[in-house]
A and B are shown apart, each in its own frame.
Chain A
Amino acid sequence: MYTRSDSPAMTHDKKTRAHVPELLQQLGQPSAAGVDAVARHTGVPAADVFGVESFYSLLDQRDLKTRVCTGLSCRLAGAEDLLKACDKARLETAPTSCIAACDRPPAMLRERRVVCEVTTGDVLESQGSFEKLYSAAGSDWRGSIWPATADEGESLLNLAAAPNWSAAGYAKALEIGPEAVIQALEEAGLQGRGGAGFPAHIKWSAVRGEAEPVKYIVLNGDEAEPGTFKDREIMLRRPDLVLDGLAIAAHAVGAGEVWLYLRGEFEIPREIMERAVAAAEEEERYGDLAFHFHSGHGAYICGEETALLESLEGRRGMPRHKPPFPTAQGLWGKPTLIHNVETIALVPTILLRGAEFFRQAGKTQPGTKLYCLSGHVARPGVYEMPLGVSLDELVEAAGGYIGELKAFSPGGASSGFLPASERARPLDFQALAEVDSMLGSAGVVVLNEGVNMAWAAAEQLEFFERESCGQCAPCRIGTAYQRASLERFREDGDAQALEHVDNIAWEMIEGSICGLGQTASLPLTSALRHFPEDFVANSSGGAPQ
């Protein structure tokens, strides 16, 4: 007898598959019956449903009520102690990758809601009840920003201002037409803020130029690069800019549907964005433009644009080969414009205040940049500064360093570590590339002299191993091998353990399909290069004080 779950993959409606993860999410703890139920409901083969379930950490272990963030900034702020406290309080928990709360560490996850600045006292007093823990710890997720007050002058995103629902940027786009919009981006020199810094107008022109009539806009709100939390802040404070930017993009490239992909832990930002979309649709602010939401389910790799598309289609988030690029064959094979939240949010301002104004706002490259500052600094937070400020300039605005600067990551875990001697280097796309690092998502993590770099690198390597999608061997095995090598060194103090690190790092760069594998060795190789003293035989690889 053939139930629908037996129907082969070739026949089900492709778009139905997109619902698989959220259907799984709605079920209780993982079970064969649940997988079957979702398979029957969607027509997707049961094995495929299970493949999806087992890929995403929030689906695979969805009965787990609490998680403790073990990102670098949270560890510096005592994440390990929180884990121990949870044990003591008999609160079932597990470590999780960075949850974009580095400015208010240590953070925990209550199902899919982030709880900031949790103390061991909060945990111990909860007596095993996560409800109690949740009510004890702060639930408002907004962090500190710079400029702290509304500023129409220098700031482009003006996070401190109240949302402005006039859709002036969209009106301007309708007025000047698609070609002029794209030209404005080109003149402004807008580079993608997700990490690669790719000129935005090239993608827009490409999608616009595709003959296929069905096109999509996808918002990449899967902000998961350790140390990064700016998109969170934009959505919490300025959903108006995001919607306006998306509508302008849809108008410019000729798309009729917009998908907002937000990471699963962004329950609060999603609620805010959903309210904003509901209001916009209510007043038909953007004509018949349709907005859809899709939540991630705990997989860092889905921030990679093609993995995100796979994930949005309800599959395992494994990156695709490029070419073809998403601009030609993206979501469901259609031309797709996919942008980071910050990039999209900058678009209305470029149209309203002009390309020239945007160019001038940067220091070494056009525009301002949201820098996410965390670690050993006085006031962690999101800093909108001219693109190309130095670390010292940035930290000065944040009230200075805590302790003596030893190292910093300029752009999240993927950018590796730079030594204090680079403190005056412009934090922009080009200058950082020159020292084999990158601006990435501008998640700037500052480490002081108390941090052992072997320890810091180990944490990052564990992260990449845990988050490798497993599709290609250089990354799947390489991340594990690098982590194991460093672990052997830290346990035995035997420098011999690190002898293949460079060779494997080379292969991970050459052989990996996507950026994750290509950059995953950087925390270790950069630490080895800049801080050899932390890797001499029998040096203590312990945690900081």
Chain B
Amino acid sequence: MAGLVTTFGAGAMTNSIHEIREADFLFVIGSNTSEAHPIIAMEMKRAVRRGAKLVVADPRSIWMTTIADRHLPLKPGTDVWLLNAMAQVIIAEGLSDENFIAQSTEGYEALAERVANYTPEEAEKITGVAAADIRATARAYATTRKAGIYYTLGITEHTHGTDNVYALSNLVLLTGHLGSRSTGLNPLRGQNNVQGANDAGASPIFFPDYQSVGDPEIQAKYEAAWGCSLSSEPGLNLNQMMKVAGSKIRAFFIMGEDIVMSEPNVAVLEEGLNAMDFVVIQDIFLTETARFADVVLPAACFAEKDGTFTNSERRVQLVRKAVEPPGEARADWRILIDIARASGADWDYQSPADIYAELVHEAPNFAGISHERIDSEGIGLQWPCPTSDHPGTKFLHEGGVLRGKGLFQAVDYKPSVEIADSDYPLVLSTGRTLYHYNAATQTTRSAGLPEKQPEAFVELHRKDAGQRGISDGDLVEVLSRRGSLRCRAQVSRQVRRGCIWMPFHFADSRANLLTVDQGDAVTGTAEYKVCATEVRLLAAAAADDKTLFPGAFWGEPGGATSSAT
């Protein structure tokens, strides 16, 4: 979010999902779209059928490359080199939109100077992508009017994730590919309400609608609205919280996250959790993290409550209660009210619609949206939607960049914090598969999906496998400086030589035992895409012994492993 807020003034997809099918050029980077966003992939397929050109930049030969005109198989973590080289080509070949740059941007000179040395030939050495492919992609992007860029966590889950977003923004500003249908920069959100959680102010630095907690006027506004005094001190981001868990942070309230599955370098995190004074977990299942909880509050799932999710394209949509929650479980919003009241506050909301009305009251971009309006119009509304008669906004920046002027952010390539060496020569990236979702708490409890994809695996290149005497289906051990786990080897044409890939869904083989916990300087988002590893074949005898699985948990979830009491 922060990257796009800085460069364009709004941290969201610039365009609507429906516009993807009309694009003439699609640049997909760091997104395994067909598995992580199948529906977006359908739109892209539609565009390709129509004759649109598709370029996929990804270290792996993902499915999308099978329909792409060009695949740029960059080495993990070298995105800035690739993108700066594209910027260099656009500038050097005179393909930039000079009018747009002059009228609607600032910081161009610094960028032009910075990228001058990022030639495609040099980029080829670092990224592994042929200079000719970089040139051709840059030209096609710059010269196609309806050109859209699509990215996900392959861009952002790096220590330099914000730099990557800046480098993408630069391409957009150079070409003026902004502010019209099918043309823009589009982060595809990985979870149902990523956009909404940020929009609603679940952020250490923003109130709802990206209003800064450090801005005295905003602070005063919320103090008046909520009738209390508020801290102007920015809070800790998630990455920072995790690192000081058990030291500076002494109590956690955790709603709907399984942090020991999702956070990096979990061995260290678990030590911290053991040292906490107090942990509250609010969830629908007894998660792995619940082993550290003092209180576990049973929540309702999406089918059992009312509310709204805001999707990737800024569309606020209704969630409707279909069935009653099991036993005494309650909707999260109801529990939160209960906690506030037990803590002395006099919260008095009758329904999610009430809460939403309060939210938008102080949030100008959402002010025209209400539950009633979405319900009566039968379709979600896309912000900005400042008034109740505003139709919502299909694509951003139509009347000019929302920030006022688009801000070029010259960035330099920084190597990933951990690079492959002789001890750990293989670069691990992690990600999602089509058949599971995040910590798989829901998908492993849904019939059929576990059978289609029952266990963790690591994809590795044929030659890397051969060197280590590993065949397809062998049980292997994957090691990093932080930990190790065991899983099946999948000898694959998808990964490039020297790289391996794992899904992060499986509790028995938690990829996050391996990953690096260093976060991006701006957002705190951790490096899930690059860490140095080695893979070893496990002897058959060891393979049979289930108790040897070091990636598994020792006890059952909820067992007596917390020292908090």
A binding-site residues for B, Cβ under 8 Å: 1-3, 6-8, 10-11
Contacts and interface: CB of A to CB of B under 8 A. Distances in A.
Contacts of B49: 10
Contact of B494 (A1, A7, A8): A1
B45 A2 contact: no
Interface pairs A-B: 6 shortest CB-CB: A7-B66, A1-B492, A11-B67, A10-B49, A1-B493, A2-B66
A8 B492 contact: no
Interface string B486-525: 0000101110000000000000000000000000000000
Contacts of A1: 490, 492-494
A372 B56 CA distance: 60
Contacts, number: 24
Interface residues of B, number: 11
A8 B493 contact: no
A6 B493 CA distance: 13
A11 B66 contact: yes
Nearest to B66: A7
Given A1-B494, A10-B45, A11-B66, 6 more contacts: A2-B61, A3-B493, A6-B63, A7-B67, A8-B67, A10-B67
A2 B490 contact: no
A10 B45 CA distance: 8
Contacts of A2: 61, 63, 66, 493-494
Most chain B beta-carbon contacts within 10 A, residue among A1, A6, A7: A1
A7 B66 CA distance: 6
Interface of B: 45, 48-49, 61, 63, 66-67, 490, 492-494
Nearest to B46: A10
10 contacts: A1-B493, A2-B63, A2-B494, A3-B493, A6-B66, A8-B45, A8-B66, A8-B67, A10-B45, A11-B48
A14 to B, nearest CB: 13
Contacts of B490: 1
Contacts of A11: 48, 66-67
A10 B49 CA distance: 6
Nearest to B459: A1
A451 to B, nearest CB: 54
A1 B66 CA distance: 11
Contacts of A3: 493
A3 B494 CA distance: 10
A10 B492 contact: no
Contacts of B63: 2, 6
Nearest to A4: B66
Contacts of B45: 8, 10
Nearest to A6: B66
A7 B494 CA distance: 14
B470 to A, nearest CB: 15
Contacts of A7: 66-67
A11 B63 CA distance: 12
Contacts of A8: 45, 66-67
Nearest to B69: A11
Contacts of B493: 1-3
A6 B66 CA distance: 9
Contacts of B494: 1-2
Nearest to B62: A2
Nearest to A1: B492
B59 to A, nearest CB: 15
B490 to A, nearest CB: 7
A346 to B, nearest CB: 42
A1 B49 CA distance: 23
Contacts of B66: 2, 6-8, 11
A10 B48 contact: yes
B69 to A, nearest CB: 9
A6 B67 CA distance: 11
Contacts of B48: 10-11
A2 B61 CA distance: 8
Nearest to B45: A10
Nearest to B54: A11
B131 to A, nearest CB: 25
A3 B49 CA distance: 20
Nearest to A43: B66
A225 to B, nearest CB: 37
A1 B45 CA distance: 19
A423 B48 CA distance: 60
A2 B495 CA distance: 11
A6 B494 CA distance: 13
A43 to B, nearest CB: 9
A11 B45 CA distance: 10
Nearest to A3: B493
A46 to B, nearest CB: 14
Contacts of A6: 63, 66
Contacts of A10: 45, 48-49, 67
A163 B266 CA distance: 86
Most chain A beta-carbon contacts within 10 A, residue among B66, B67, B490, B494: B66
A11 B44 CA distance: 13
Contacts of B492: 1
Nearest to B472: A1
B98 to A, nearest CB: 36
A123 to B, nearest CB: 52
A10 B61 CA distance: 18
A11 B67 CA distance: 6
A12 to B, nearest CB: 10
A11 B493 CA distance: 19
A10 B44 CA distance: 12
Contacts of B67: 7-8, 10-11
A17 to B, nearest CB: 16
A10 B68 CA distance: 10
A222 B351 CA distance: 72
Nearest to A10: B49
A2 B492 CA distance: 9
